[in-house]
Amino acid sequence: MLILLSGLLAGWTLGANDAANSMGTAVGARVRTIREAVIIVGVFSLAGALLYGHRVINTIGKGIVPLDQLDSDLSTVIALAAMLAAGGWLFAATYLKLPVSTTHSIVGAVAGAGLAAGNVPIVWAKLLDIVSAWVLTPVGGALVAYVLYQLLRLLVLKRFNPPDKVWVWPLTLSGMYMAFSWGANDVANATGLMVGVGIVSPFVAALIGGVAIVVGIGTWGYRVMETVGTRITNLLPAMAFIAEVGAALNVHLYTALGLPVSTTHSIVGAIFGVGLVHGRKGIDVRTVRDIVLAWAATPVAAGVVAFVVYAILSRIFL
């Protein structure tokens, strides 16, 4: 029951913090209201979680610390400590309106709890793959979005400047694609550890996590949506569209590879990329600095909290 509740907490905070990654740009470009964005993200993130989420769930559940190979009591306490730590950190970041990586949170928490347990094998090679993907994700998102937006400007915008209303549906469709990719990749962050300890199947974990994410989107998702949509750069509809497409392509690639990456890094990198097309003056450097500092702190903070939580829980349950 505690594992289930901690998974619901992680899913709720994940939905609240990461909802902005899918439709924050559409809100910032003023083609969708926050209410419309919340509904769209809720529907398509749940679809992504159920149809494609199992690929990354197995990586989180078994790939970093092989929980299925440990004593059941030990693996359960590690999973519980990691999920509580990740959920707590995400709650704090969402309250502060900071778009942090839910993937960093859960991966850092799993590693921290595993280290606290001692004599527990940590698959460092898989962890290195994940960390490498973290570094490449924002860079890849920025490069893809920069190139796509330059092409759009050269081939379309310099010859024809569509009115804002023309971008409503392209932005909506790109947001749907991003929401689907996000749900598929990030549902593992909420419930992958349930699969690792053998409590539920990957599909049931995806269903539980998907529903919790939708509740998080509907109740608190607006907080970070404001930061992503309006505070990094002044998004024009065309810029918002390219940022969504670039970020979604980036996340989709890593999901196909079974690697948990940060949709937050992908969309923020993409927004940064399209902003750079207009020069450095188009970027709010202070906001970008705050976000990057929060990114760097996330895996360390979640790992430290998980280490402490495991030490407390092990005295109670082991």
pLDDT one-digit tens code per residue, 130-184? 778 778 888 999 999 999 999 999 998 888 888 878 888 898 998 899 899 889 9
- For residue range 269-311, list pLDDT tens digits in order: 898 898 888 777 667 777 778 778 887 888 899 999 999 999 9
Q: Is residue 47 pLDDT above 90, yes or no? A: yes
CA distance 53 to 73: 26
CA distance 44 to 244: 14
CA distance 83 to 60: 11
CB of 295 within 8 A of CB of 104?
yes
How much is the pTM? 0.80
Enclosing domain of residue 97: 2-317
Total domains in the chain come to 1
Return the pLDDT at 230: 60
CB of 145 within 8 A of CB of 269?
yes
